[in-house]
Amino acid sequence: MPIHITAPLTAETVENLKAGDAVLLSGTIYTARDAAHKRMYEACLAGEALPFDITNQVIYYVGPTPAKDNQVIGSAGPTTSERMDKYTPTLLDLGLKGMIGKGYRSDEVKSSIKRNKAVYFAAIGGSAALIAQCIKRVEVVTYEDLGTEAIRKLEVENMPLIVINDANGQDFYEIGVAAFREAEET
C-alpha cells in the first residue's frame, strides 16, 4: 500500500520513510537539471542567495517538454540523477530534503543524504506521460534562459515514487541486488 506524503517535507515524514517504500507525493516541488544545479552551486560558492528557499523542498530532476493544447505540461520523465551528484551535497547541507530522479547516487551523495536526514526517490523511467498527469500546475521560477532546464515550481498530486535512499543510509538498489543474489543461491 503506497504511503501518501506531502511536499515540502517534514523531518518526521523523511525519517519515517524506508528504502523500498512506495510513495504517492502531493504538494509543491521544484524542477532542476544540470544547468540549473550548476548555477545554484555557483551562487552558493559566491555567497549569493539561491533563487528560492530550498529548506525542506523536493527537487525533481526533469526537463519537461512543452505542453500541448489542454495540457499543463508535456512529458515529464526523470533524468539520470548522478549528473547532479557534484552539486547535491551542498544543496542538502542548505536544507534540501528530497530529490526525485532515476539511477544510482554516488557514495558522497548517499552519505550526505544520511547526514542531512534527507531522501532520494526514484520516478519510473519511461512513464513520462503518466507522471505528467500528476502535475496540476506549473510556474517558471527562475533561469528562464535555460528553456526546458529552467527551474519550475510544480503542484503535484499522487506522483508515484519509490524510496531509494532513506535518511538511515539504506539503499533500495543494494537491498534488491542482495535479495536477488540470495534467491539465486537457494
Would residue 4 show up in a list of annotated catalytic residues for this protein?
no
Q: Which three cell numbers stand for residue 21?
A: 517504500
Closest CA to 173 of 81, 57, 64: 81
DSSP-derived letter for residue 167 is T
Using CA atoms, how far apart are residues 152 and 103, in angstroms rounded to an integer?
22
Query: Do the strands 119-122 and 98-101 form a parallel or antiparallel pair, or are they unpaired?
Result: parallel
Q: Which three cell numbers stand for residue 171?
A: 539503499
DSSP-derived letter for residue 81 is G
DSSP-derived letter for residue 79 is -
- At 108-160, the pLDDT tens digits run 999 999 999 999 999 987 778 889 999 999 999 999 999 999 999 999 999 99
Query: Do the strands 135-142 and 151-165 form a parallel or antiparallel pair, or are they unpaired?
Result: antiparallel
Could you say which of 33, 37, 39, 102 is catalytic?
37
The structure's pTM equals 0.94
- At 39-58, the pLDDT tens digits run 999 999 999 999 999 999 99
